Amino acid sequence: MVIEPATDEEAAATVKVMGGEDWQLWISALADAGVLADGFTTLNYTYLGSELTRPIYHKGTLGVAKADLDRAAGEIRSRFGDTSAYVVALKAVVTRASSAIPVVPLYGTLLLKVMAEMGLNEGTIEQIDRLFRTKLADPVVDEAHRLRVDDWELSPTVQAEMVRRWPLLSTETLPELADLKTYRAEFLKLFGFGLGGVDYTADVDPREV
């Protein structure tokens, strides 16, 4: 089976859904309505990925949409000032979207194990807490004016271990090298399963829900 590259029309549709147009329109609408606070800051979250995932994640149509997100942030800053808009690059977490992208779930399963062993693992809440506590107080941006909260994931130490383990992964080695159990648990929670205190065997009357 061969999957053809996205067409220009499909790439444009991806940019329409995942790019920065809506963000820019919302900020413009709020400004025109006079309801933006002086010195406001708006954030838009993104994921860039490592060298292991970037070929499929960031160099395809998703990457085109992410470039448009950077474009929108730049135009917002041009109108409202350098601290008005940041694209924030976050670490890999288990989401419905990322779970459907080839290679990314396997990368995430491995990353959970590596970062946990190094005492660096963060869930969604923990990394956003770090963003607001440490990154926004004194913003340091990369060459594209992004705030980087994926710095722990992309640190040389973590990525060196990811690269070492990556070619060793197989059905047999997965339990030792990665953390499929945690990944599966996080995935099930996205759909309301695997939550403590819930009797999944009980009958439910939909009229009482």
Residues with catalytic roles: 57
The burial of 74, by beta-carbon neighbours within 10 Å (0-12 exposed, 13-18 middle, 19 or more buried), is given as middle
Residue 68, classed as helix, strand or coil, is helix
Sheet strand arrangement including 85-89 = 42-46, 85-89, 147-148
Backbone angles phi, psi at 151, to 5 degrees: -65, -35
Backbone angles phi, psi at 148, to 5 degrees: -110, 110
